[in-house]
Structures are given as C-alpha cells and as structure tokens.
Amino acid sequence: MNVKIEESWKRVLQPEFEKGYFATLTEAVRREYSVASCYPPGRFIFNAFNLCPFDKVKVVIIGQDPYHEPGQAHGLSFSVQDGVPFPPSLQNIFKEIHDDLGKPIPTTGNLTRWAEQGVLLLNASLTVRAHQANSHSQLGWQTFTDAAIRALASQRQHVVYMLWGSYARGKAYMINRQQNLVLESVHPSPLSANRGGWFGQHQFSRCNEYLISQGVEPIDW
C-alpha cells in the first residue's frame, strides 16, 4: 500500500503497510470520515511523522488519542492549532516548563516548533470521532503506532521517552532503558497532576541534560 508519509518513516514502516490489519484500518478510517465528523483533518493524520523524520527523533511524547472538539487536533499529541485556547493538560505542561526552565508561557499551543526539533508527538490512535474520546481506539491504530515505537527502540539509541500517565507508561516494556532515557510521571491532566507527581519532576531539564550528555542538541521547549 502506498501511504503518504515522510520518506524515512515510510521506509521503516513499510512492512506494516503490507499487513492485513493496516488495510482493514485504512478502510475503517475512510468509512468513519465519510459518515461522521472526525479529527484531525485527513492531511494531518500522519503529521507527527511528517514533521519529525525517523533519524531526527530525539524525544518521544506519547498521547492517547487526538483532541475531539472542532479546530483543535492537527496530528501532534497535546498540541492545538494556532488561536485555540490551551486544553488543561497543555496548560499544565507549559506551567511545568515555566517552573523547570524559567521559560515564559507561550502565546500558542501549536507544538510544531517541538516536532521540527526532533520531538515525536505521537498519539496511540491517530484519529477520533468528534466529541467521542477514544472512539477509534479499536480500529487498529495502536498496532501501527506500537510498531513505530518498536522501530525506534530497536534501531535508534539515546532517545528520551516521556511517558505520562498509566496508558503511556504501559509502552515502557518496548524500550531499552540501558540505551535510552525513560522519564515517567502521572498524566498532566488536572485530575492527575493536582494529586501530585507531575509538577516539580523537572522532566524537561532532565531531558535536555541527557541529550547534551550524548552530544545531541537540546530541545528549546
């Protein structure tokens, strides 16, 4: 199957595109987009991969599924399009960056600037039906995105994996902790963050310290 995705990821993930589940997934997603409002817009479904080539990945941040309200999702986990109010989780992410690194709260929640520096902002499910969280979680996306994580884990070293919340932390078994840095915490959503374990973890400075120690340019968060 000829999938429109960034060339280095296309090369790495080509075996997945030839599997039966991916054909079934593609058909299910097309059907969903034809009968209901779904997000992100089709051109953004593989945005995380298109903005962050395989050999450029420095950091992986795993989300569960796209935002499901109009105008928010554009294919990057936790990110919203320019001009969209910050969702609560993103507010807490920016607050922790401010507390950790002293950076001012940005004026936009569009994290394209992170992706272009090598942060793979990967949702486990790449699509969702409007107003229905996790509505596409059974379509087969997780098989595909797990394959992407496995490819990184097996072919790349010295990558920082930021696993927030029990869902993302459930992916840790795929990652070699001797060859990479795994930073785990509660989810930045208010329900979790306000109970403790999100604020004050200094994940963003720890990430950059690790990258620098490996001779890699740090992320301008």
pLDDT tens-place string over residues 109-150? 999 999 999 999 999 999 999 999 999 999 999 999 999 999
User: Do residues 76 and 121 touch, judged by C-beta distance below 8 A?
Assistant: yes
78 burial level (CB within 10 Å; 0-12, 13-18, 19+): buried
Instruction: Say if strands 181-185 and 38-39 run parallel, antiparallel, or are unpaired.
Output: unpaired
Pairing of strands 181-185, 119-123: unpaired
Residue from 55, 65, 82, 220 carrying the catalytic annotation: 65
Q: Residue 72: what are its φ and ψ, rounded to 5°?
A: -90, -65
Cβ-contact 146, 60 below 8 angstroms: no
pLDDT, one tens digit per residue, over 87-112 is: 999 999 999 999 999 999 999 999 99
Q: Is the pTM of this model over 0.85?
A: yes
Percentage of the residues of the chain whose pLDDT score is greater than 70: 100
Question: Tokens representing 59?
Answer: 């950091």
Q: pLDDT digits over 172-211, tens only?
A: 999 999 999 999 999 999 989 988 899 999 999 999 999 9
pLDDT at 79: 98
Q: Which of 194, 122, 129 is nearest to 151 (CA)?
A: 122
The span from the CA of 132 to the CA of 35, in Å, is 14
Take residue 147 and report the two structure tokens written for it: 């394959």
Clarify whether 100 is annotated catalytic.
no
In which residue are the tokens 């992916």 written?
171
pLDDT higher than threshold 90 for residue 35: yes
Query: What is the three-class DSSP state of 161?
Result: strand
Which pLDDT belongs to residue 20? Answer: 97
